[in-house]
């Protein structure tokens, strides 16, 4: 009796959460796939017709936005690695007792709503806002210069919003490096560049991989930054999906695009994890 | 992993052959090191300042004595918006909705996630791999796709959208975070303690509430608070599954085109302050506990 109960205990504990995730995460993914292969409209109802053309049509119509999203995601990710690495390095090796304080400060932006932060940047960067009006007054930029509405503004916003997700995994990876390895390298006459390139960076790579995973995916699927800071020429695939779902309610096309986006990102992640070794990525990402 | 190259080199070297660096070179090295460290320090704080800029601006303009409905130009300091916080009924409703959702999400996702975390940390069971995979998927899938698929599901079923569907969504994406936090705590527990309780005649229920739960409580609390924070901040998934229900982030989104009233800044500031106080208190308690 007691052993049976002990055997069933884990299943009883998993059941409620497991059912919730099954019903509201796994099943909806299948529902979305199914909806993308249906035809019909809201009034007449939808019929399952296995209409794969929805995919080819949707992708060829919105290929520009898809490529643009991946492009912005890529630039954002590269910019973040460059920006985040020195910070992770500083906190891991130089911050001493203040490590947790620094990490806490890095997470401060998350106490303000994502939308509100992005809108705050819009407010700061508008053409007659606090930054540009001053720069124009001093004659540092041309009168017709503007930031909002450009791809730069969107990438800027994306980089800003996801930066802590890049710093944290890099920090975790660097933190685990035994400082004696660096000492050994120095004692063997490696110059600082060599110590970094041959010892520190390779050992930090799992953190970089995890960070890339945690920023590239959400950045390429984002539509908030592009809506608030961009213009019609910076439309990303997220904007299209959001518009198709919520405004034109063209569900088959919308779910096809959304599914295609996920497939592209999944294939990307898979290839990436394959090349770089899954386990390291997973273990660091799971932290 | 990459094997460490210097080690092989080290073993082939005779220790006596290794020349010690000249003092001058070493001094030089230390000086460059210090300069590099200072540069890193300045850089880190510049990025931190950048990260905090939009927050500082938001807080500042909550104190702006603006006259018209546009809160764009600094017009002197005032506290009046703190008094008129609930002057916009639609905004107040949105905030109340957000708070209700966040509290319910904290309770439901907190409970379900804790159970899941316990199971994953304490037992080996069939289906564990799949469970881990699904959790990893909910944490790493783009919000857009999760929101879209849930909406597809509700559309297929013909379910009306509102508070219930938003809550379902919030619990869905919060569970895994709670479970991960609780699991990491459960793994560190000493199984002997539970065994001791059992040997002393405690039934599984008593053992859980008197032994296990108090030990994992800090993790349960952080998990619950994280769920609260994720819920109150969520925009994308909420927008897909809200129908006509408005939450705080959704109201802000709708109001941007007309210009945000100062009340939004005040509300953002208050949420920020409360979050900060809770996080600091949490850290202080954790530190004190660790010292004991």
Contact B55, B269 (CB under 8 A): no
Binned at pLDDT 50, 70 and 90, residue A58 comes out as confident
Arithmetic mean of pLDDT, B85-97: 91
For chains A and B, what is the number of CB pairs under 8 angstroms? 244
Does the beta-carbon distance from B172 to A25 stay under 8 Å?
Answer: yes
Q: Is the pLDDT of residue A79 over 80?
A: yes
Does the beta-carbon distance from A124 to B54 stay under 8 Å?
Answer: yes
Arithmetic mean of pLDDT, B175-195: 91
SS3 annotation, chain A:
CHHHHHHHHHHHHHHHHHHHHHHHHHHHHHHHHHHHCEEEECCCEEEECCCCHHHHHHHHHCHHHHHHHHHHHHHHHHHHHHHHHHHHHHHHHHCHHHHHHHHHHHHHHHHCCHHHHHHHHHHHHCCCCCCHHHHHHCCCCCCCCCCCCCHHHHHHHHHHHHHHHHHHHHHHHHHCCCHHHHHHHHHCCCCHHHHHHHHHHHHHHHHHHHHHHHHHHHHHCCCHHHHHHCCHHHCCHHHHHHHHHHCCCCHHHHHHHHHHHHHHHHHHHHHHHHHHCHHHHHHHHHC
- CB count in 10 Å sphere of residue A272: 15
Find how far residue A219's CA is from the centre of its chain: 4
Arithmetic mean of pLDDT, B21-39: 72
Binned at pLDDT 50, 70 and 90, residue B21 comes out as low
> What pTM did the predictor assign?
0.85
Q: Given CB atoms, is B75 within the 8 Å cutoff of chain A?
A: no
Q: What is the ipTM of this complex?
A: 0.86
Burial environment of residue B270 by CB neighbours within 10 A (0 to 12, 13 to 18, 19 or more): middle
pLDDT of residue B256: 83
Q: Which of A106, A115, A160, A216 to mutate to test the interface with B (most CBs of B within 10 A)?
A: A115
Residue A156 CB-half CA count within 13 A: 19
pLDDT of residue B118: 93
Binned at pLDDT 50, 70 and 90, residue B75 comes out as confident
d(CA B182, CA A248): 42
Contacts of B179 in chain A (CB under 8 A): 17
Arithmetic mean of pLDDT, B16-39: 68
Residues in chain B: 292
| pLDDT: which is higher, A278 or B262 | B262
pLDDT tens readout for residues A45-54: 777 777 788 8
DSSP tag of B256: G
Residue B19, helix vs strand vs coil: coil
d(CA B285, CA B158): 47
pLDDT tens readout for residues A153-194: 999 999 999 999 999 999 999 988 888 888 898 889 888 888
Q: Is the pLDDT of residue B59 over 80?
A: yes
Q: Which of B19, B152, B225 to mutate to test the interface with A (most CBs of A within 10 A)?
A: B152
- Its sign, for the CA torsion A65, A67, A72, A77, is positive
Q: Which of B102, B142, B166 to mutate to test the interface with A (most CBs of A within 10 A)?
A: B142
pLDDT tens readout for residues A89-111: 999 988 888 888 898 888 888 88
pLDDT tens readout for residues A183-233: 898 889 888 888 888 888 888 888 898 898 889 999 999 999 999 999 989
d(CA A267, CA B33): 43
Q: Judging by DSSP bridges, how do beta strands A45-48 and A38-41 pair with one another?
A: antiparallel
Alpha-carbon gap: B268 to the closest alpha carbon of chain A (Å)? 6
Arithmetic mean of pLDDT, B189-193: 86
For all residues of chain A together, what is the average pLDDT?
Answer: 86
């Amino acid at each position: 009796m007691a052993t049976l109960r002990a055997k069933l205990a884990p299943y009883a504990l998993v059941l409620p959460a497991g059912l919730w995730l099954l019903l509201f995460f796994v099943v909806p993914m299948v529902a979305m796939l199914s909806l993308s292969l249906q035809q019909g409209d809201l009034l007449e109802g939808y019929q399952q017709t296995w209409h794969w053309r929805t995919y080819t049509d949707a992708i060829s119509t919105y290929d520009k936005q898809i490529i643009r999203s991946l492009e912005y995601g890529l630039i954002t990710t590269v910019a973040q690695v460059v920006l985040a690495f020195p910070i992770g390095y500083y906190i891991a090796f130089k911050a001493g007792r203040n490590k947790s304080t620094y990490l806490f400060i890095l997470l401060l932006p998350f106490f303000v709503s994502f939308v509100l932060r992005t809108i705050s940047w819009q407010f700061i960067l508008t053409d007659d806002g606090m930054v540009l009006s001053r720069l124009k007054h001093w004659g540092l930029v041309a009168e017709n210069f503007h930031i909002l509405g450009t791809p730069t503004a969107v990438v800027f916003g994306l980089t800003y919003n996801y930066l802590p997700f890049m710093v944290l995994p890099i920090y975790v990876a660097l933190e685990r490096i035994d400082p004696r390895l660096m000492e050994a390298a120095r004692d063997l006459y490696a110059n600082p560049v060599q110590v970094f390139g041959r010892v520190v960076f390779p050992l930090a790579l799992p953190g970089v991989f995890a960070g890339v995973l945690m920023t590239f995916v959400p950045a390429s699927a984002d539509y908030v930054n592009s809506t608030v800071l961009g213009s019609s020429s910076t439309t990303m695939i997220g904007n299209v999906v959001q518009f198709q779902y919520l405004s034109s309610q063209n569900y088959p096309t919308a779910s096809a695009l959304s599914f295609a986006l996920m497939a592209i990102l999944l294939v990307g992640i898979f290839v990436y994890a394959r090349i770089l070794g899954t386990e390291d990525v997973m273990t660091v990402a799971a932290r | 992993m990459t094997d460490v190259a210097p080690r092989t080199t080290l073993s082939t070297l005779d220790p006596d052959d290794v020349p010690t660096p000249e003092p001058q070179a070493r001094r030089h090295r230390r000086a460059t090191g210090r300069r590099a460290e200072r540069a890193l320090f300045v850089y880190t704080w510049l990025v931190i300042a950048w990260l905090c800029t939009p927050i500082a601006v938001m807080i500042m303009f909550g104190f702006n004595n603006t006259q018209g409905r546009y809160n764009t130009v600094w017009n002197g300091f005032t506290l009046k918006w703190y008094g008129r916080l609930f002057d916009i009924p639609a905004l107040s409703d949105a905030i109340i909705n957000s708070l209700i959702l966040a509290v319910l999400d904290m309770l439901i996702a907190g409970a379900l996630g804790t159970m899941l975390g316990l199971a994953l940390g304490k037992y080996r069971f069939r289906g564990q791999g799949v469970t881990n995979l699904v959790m990893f998927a909910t944490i790493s899938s783009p919000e857009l796709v999760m929101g879209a698929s849930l909406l597809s599901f509700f559309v297929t079923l013909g379910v009306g959208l509102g508070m219930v569907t938003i809550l379902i969504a919030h619990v869905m994406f919060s569970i895994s975070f709670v479970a991960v936090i609780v699991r990491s705590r459960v793994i560190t527990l000493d199984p002997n303690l539970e065994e001791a309780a059992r040997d002393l005649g405690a039934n599984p229920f008593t053992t859980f509430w008197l032994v296990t739960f108090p030990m994992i409580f800090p993790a349960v609390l952080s998990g619950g608070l994280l769920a609260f924070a994720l819920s109150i901040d969520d925009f994308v998934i909420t927008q897909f599954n809200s129908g006509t229900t408005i939450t705080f982030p959704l109201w802000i989104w709708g109001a941007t085109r007309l210009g945000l009233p100062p009340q939004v800044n005040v509300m953002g500031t208050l949420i920020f302050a409360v979050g900060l106080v809770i996080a600091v208190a949490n850290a202080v308690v954790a530190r004190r506990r660790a010292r004991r």
